[in-house]
């Protein structure tokens, strides 16, 4: 009984997440297993249901997504990767523009103190911004809540925007190779499991951004380019990974009061609009100069989670390697630039108690 009580929040989150995913799947909605799980657990968490998905459960699922993304790297993709350099070169400008616009918005429309607003406005680096913000004197809970709302809203809105704007292509789900012999598939899956474990270990040892996903993605890409692997992880394993990741996003809201979440959600909608507007401006300029397709730019630049946006890319027919690479660079830039710009800007501390900030 003690074991059941300990893991009850996890079981509740996964059952609700699977149920939400099944409903979205039955309704043929985009990216059903992740979005359905995310929405179901968000509602549960805000309703006071004790739901929780620990990092030790999410991390292996991130490795699965990393292996899945790595399976999309081919010799042709690698040979053409140099064409991504112009859009990658725009990312420092993008980070400053989006972060600056978001900071201005939060300061003008909320009661966030300058330091809390600064780290809450950063377009990426959830965990790092929470830690840096706390060390700098910001409100850790508010920073965490704003970033949770940012990821939730962007990941939820982008697939529906692409679907109903006509920008989403109909793409077959990634998964088992049709017609492949079972022994060959089993051998491939064994290779992919090794890629996940070895890649996760290397990612952590090398302290890579999004290490649990990036490490397996790199090793999986090398295995596929070298001809050691020829398929992606099984589709049901990918669906399970999406349920866990979606449930983990929704479960983040369990630690906050409902009124606090609702107020931040309202501010978060405006923040999402600001971020999208800045993303469209930068994306439009890049599209006009370089000619990169609009859908690819939107997915590569929109400041959602790297795993989540890469999964959306898979569902829309956009090269997931292109999207994942841009998000990894974006996160690295945010983590590197945020403390530097914080010192250069000399962001003021919060107002003393009793005074408005």
CA distance 130 to 58: 19
Would you say how long the chain is, in residues? 357
Query: Which pLDDT score, from 0 to 100, does residue 248 have?
Result: 92
Q: In angstroms, rounded to a whole number, what is the distance separating the alpha carbons of residues 148 and 126?
A: 8
Tell how far CA 26 is from the center of its chain: 24
pLDDT at res. 107: 93
What's the CA angle centered on 253, arms 235 and 326, to 5 degrees?
55
**What global pTM score does this model have?**
0.82
Q: What is the pLDDT of residue 192?
A: 95
* CA separation for the pair 13, 243 (Å, rounded): 9
Q: Give the span between the Cα atoms of 21 and 25, in whole angstroms.
A: 6
Q: Provide the pLDDT for residue 164.
A: 78
* Predicted pLDDT at 200: 95
Please answer whether residues 60 and 54 qualify as being in contact, where contact means their C-beta atoms are separated by less than 8 angstroms: no
Domain ranges of the chain: 61-345
List of residues 6+ apart from 314 with CB closer than 8 A? 68, 69, 72, 171, 174, 320
Query: What is the pLDDT at residue 350?
Result: 63
Q: What is the DSSP string of 16-65?
A: HHHHHHHHHHHTT-SSHHHHHHHHHHHHHHHTT------HHHHHHHHHHH
Q: Beta-carbon neighbour count of residue 266 at 10 Å?
A: 13
Q: Which residues contact 85 (CB under 8 A, 6 or more apart)?
A: none
Q: Where are the alpha helices (DSSP H) in 110-139?
A: 114-121, 126-135
Along the 357 residues of the chain, how does pLDDT read in single tens digits? 555 667 899 999 999 999 999 999 999 888 899 999 999 999 999 888 999 999 899 999 999 999 999 988 888 887 788 889 999 999 999 999 999 999 999 999 998 999 999 999 999 888 889 888 988 899 888 898 898 888 889 998 888 888 777 666 544 444 555 455 666 678 889 999 999 999 999 999 998 877 899 899 999 999 999 989 888 899 899 999 999 999 999 998 887 888 888 888 888 889 989 998 988 888 899 999 988 888 899 999 999 888 889 988 888 888 888 999 999 899 889 988 998 888 888 777 765 444 443
**What's the pLDDT at 171?**
47
């Amino acid at each position: 009984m003690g074991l059941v009580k300990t893991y009850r929040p996890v079981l509740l989150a996964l059952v609700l997440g699977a149920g939400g995913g099944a409903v979205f799947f039955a309704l043929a909605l985009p990216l059903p297993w992740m979005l359905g799980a995310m929405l179901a657990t968000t509602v549960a968490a805000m309703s006071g249901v004790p739901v929780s998905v620990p990092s030790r459960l999410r991390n292996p699922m991130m490795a699965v997504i990393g292996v899945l993304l790595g399976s999309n790297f081919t010799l042709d993709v690698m040979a053409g990767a140099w064409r991504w350099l112009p859009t990658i070169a725009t990312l420092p400008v993008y980070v400053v523009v989006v972060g600056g616009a978001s900071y201005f918005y939060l300061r003008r429309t909320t009661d966030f103190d300058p330091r809390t607003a600064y780290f809450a406005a950063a377009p990426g680096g959830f965990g790092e911004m929470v830690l840096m913000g706390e060390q700098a004197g910001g409100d850790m809970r508010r920073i965490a809540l704003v970033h949770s709302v940012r990821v939730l809203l962007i990941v939820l809105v982008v697939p529906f925007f692409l679907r109903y704007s006509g920008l989403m292509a109909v793409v077959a789900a990634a998964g088992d190779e049709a017609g492949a012999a079972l022994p060959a598939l089993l051998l491939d899956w064994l290779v992919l499991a090794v890629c996940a474990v070895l890649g996760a270990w290397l990612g952590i040892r090398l302290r890579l951004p999004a290490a649990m996903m990036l490490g397996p993605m790199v090793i999986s890409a090398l295995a596929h380019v070298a001809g050691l692997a020829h398929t992606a992880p099984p589709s049901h394993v990918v669906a399970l990974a999406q349920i866990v990741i979606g449930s983990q996003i929704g479960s983040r809201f369990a630690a906050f009061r409902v009124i606090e979440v609702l107020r931040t959600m309202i501010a978060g909608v405006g923040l999402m609009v600001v971020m999208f507007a800045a993303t469209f401006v930068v994306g439009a300029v890049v599209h006009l100069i370089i000619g990169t397709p609009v859908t690819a730019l939107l997915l590569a630049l929109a400041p959602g989670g790297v795993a989540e946006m890469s999964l959306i890319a898979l569902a829309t027919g956009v090269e997931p390697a292109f999207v994942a690479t841009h998000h990894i660079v974006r996160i690295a830039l945010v983590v590197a630039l945020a403390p530097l710009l914080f010192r250069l800007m000399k962001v003021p501390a919060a107002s003393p108690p009793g005074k408005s900030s």
